[in-house]
């Protein structure tokens, strides 16, 4: 592991060293957050978990009786699949909410079969504390090269080109499943929970090499509904800023690709733009409605960038990033993939030589 931040204060190895990590919690708990790479083999399902929890308040003995009955039945359905996945020498890590009865049920049975099994002491609760601590420390280990530029200037595409060209890249919007603006929700895709996002972010950072720079896109404190850790925001603000600009015609191409769903359904866009009336004024929003009714949605995109996104982005960065006014500008003439690969290679060469 390249960082100095160890998994947990436990007698276990790196999570990635295990052949199988079993999350013994209910599917609902698992969906909110889980260890990287964990597989959900619930001791009890959501309904059974609620049933046992309700009964436990009135009759502990009966609750345990029903809980164990459910557990044995459920584990029997998973055991063949686990045996197919794991050989006699496989290492398995098991955890539940607090490292109690549910994980112990799995561990005892798997050990009886002959598997080497570790229990995560403290369970998911201990893991969650570790994630919070890790996100306070780990971002500070890295040198960030921050791509700054107006909406639609191709920063996300440039990140992908940088990754393809061999650079270390942290794509926060990909982790957040959101493009990071009022209209940035991805069609048909829900964002991860805050806890799940935190887990993915820490796992991604821990897989990176602190001796090499990380290219990242400038972001506000929130991407959609998820919030970035303070330590990451500070590390980004202390990093090297790279301002990106692109011609408006290129930016409009990007918008038409990224927001094709709004071009197909202008009313969905206009409903979101209603929130901008206090910022851009009624006349601007009314004009966008008129343009949309005339099927001029590309013109709406352009005016939205010029009247709202560009000035808002500039105000935000002047406030957050010291020396923003003096940043040198890299003009990207085309946002097609081939040109961005060339830009990426030049950036890598420049920043590795500086490092």
What are the tens digits of pLDDT across the range 22-47? 999 999 999 999 999 999 999 999 99
42-51's contacts with Cβ under 8 Å and 24+ in sequence apart are 42/74, 43/70, 43/71, 43/74, 43/75, 43/96, 43/102, 43/105, 43/106, 44/70, 44/71, 44/74, 44/102, 45/70, 45/74, 48/74
The residues annotated as belonging to the active site are: 96
Give the mean pLDDT of the chain: 92
Q: Which fold has domain 142-354?
A: Rossmann fold (3.40.50)
Confidence of residue 5 (pLDDT cuts 50, 70, 90): low
Give the mean pLDDT of 81-109: 94
Q: What is the pLDDT of residues 110-125, one digit of tens each?
A: 999 999 999 999 999 9
State residue 313's pLDDT score.
Answer: 84
Strand-pair category, 144-148 with 214-217:
parallel
Q: Is 252 helix (H, G, I), strand (E, B) or coil?
A: helix
pLDDT of residue 260: 95
Q: Indicate the pTM of the whole model.
A: 0.92
Residue 169: which of 212, 233, 224 has the closest Cα?
212
Domain boundaries, the chain: 15-133, 142-354
pLDDT at 183 over 60: yes
* 254, 154 Cβ separation under 8 angstroms: yes
Would you place residue 312 in the very low, low, confident or very high pLDDT band (cuts 50, 70, 90)? confident
The dihedral region occupied by 295, where left means phi > 0, alpha psi between -120 and 50, and beta the remainder, is left
Specify the DSSP class assigned to residue 214: E
Average pLDDT estimate for 9-23: 80
Residue labelled with tokens 């978990």: 49
pLDDT of amino acid 7? 55
DSSP tag of 186: P
* pLDDT per residue as tens digits for the range 188-241: 999 999 999 999 999 999 999 999 999 999 998 999 999 999 999 999 999 999
How many other CB atoms sit within 10 Å of the CB of residue 56? 15
Q: What is the CATH number of domain 15-133?
A: 3.40.250.10
């Amino acid at each position: 592991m390249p960082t100095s931040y160890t998994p947990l204060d436990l007698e276990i190895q790196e999570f990635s060293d295990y052949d199988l990590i079993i999350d013994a919690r209910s599917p609902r708990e698992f969906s909110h957050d889980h260890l990287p790479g964990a597989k959900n083999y619930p001791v009890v399902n959501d309904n059974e978990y609620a049933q046992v929890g309700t009964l436990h308040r009135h009759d502990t003995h009966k609750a345990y009786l029903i809980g164990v009955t459910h557990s044995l039945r459920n584990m029997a359905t998973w055991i063949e699949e686990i045996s197919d996945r794991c050989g006699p020498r496989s290492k398995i890590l098991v955890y539940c909410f607090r490292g109690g009865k549910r994980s112990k049920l799995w561990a005892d049975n798997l050990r009886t079969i002959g598997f080497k099994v570790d229990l995560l002491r403290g369970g998911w609760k201990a893991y969650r504390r570790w994630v919070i601590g890790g996100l306070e420390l780990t971002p500070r280990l890295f040198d960030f090269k921050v791509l700054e530029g107006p909406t639609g200037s191709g920063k996300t595409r440039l990140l992908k080109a940088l990754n393809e060209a061999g650079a270390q890249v942290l794509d926060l919007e990909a982790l957040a499943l959101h493009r990071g603006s009022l209209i940035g929700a991805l069609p048909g895709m829900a964002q991860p929970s805050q806890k799940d996002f935190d887990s993915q972010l820490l796992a991604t950072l821990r897989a990176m090499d602190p001796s090499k720079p990380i290219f990242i896109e400038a972001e506000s404190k929130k991407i959609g509904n998820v919030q970035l850790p303070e330590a990451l925001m500070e590390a980004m603000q202390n990093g090297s800023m790279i301002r990106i600009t692109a011609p408006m015609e290129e930016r409009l191409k990007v918008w038409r690709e990224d927001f094709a769903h709004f071009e197909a359904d202008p009313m969905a866009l206009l409903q979101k733009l209603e929130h901008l009336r206090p910022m851009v004024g009624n006349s601007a929003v009314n004009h966008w409605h008129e343009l949309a009714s005339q099927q001029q949605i590309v013109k709406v995109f352009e005016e939205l960038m010029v009247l709202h996104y560009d000035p808002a982005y500039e105000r935000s960065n002047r406030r957050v990033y010291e020396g923003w006014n003096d940043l040198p500008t890299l003009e990207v003439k085309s946002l097609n993939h081939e040109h961005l690969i060339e830009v990426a290679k030049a950036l890598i060469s420049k920043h590795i030589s500086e490092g």
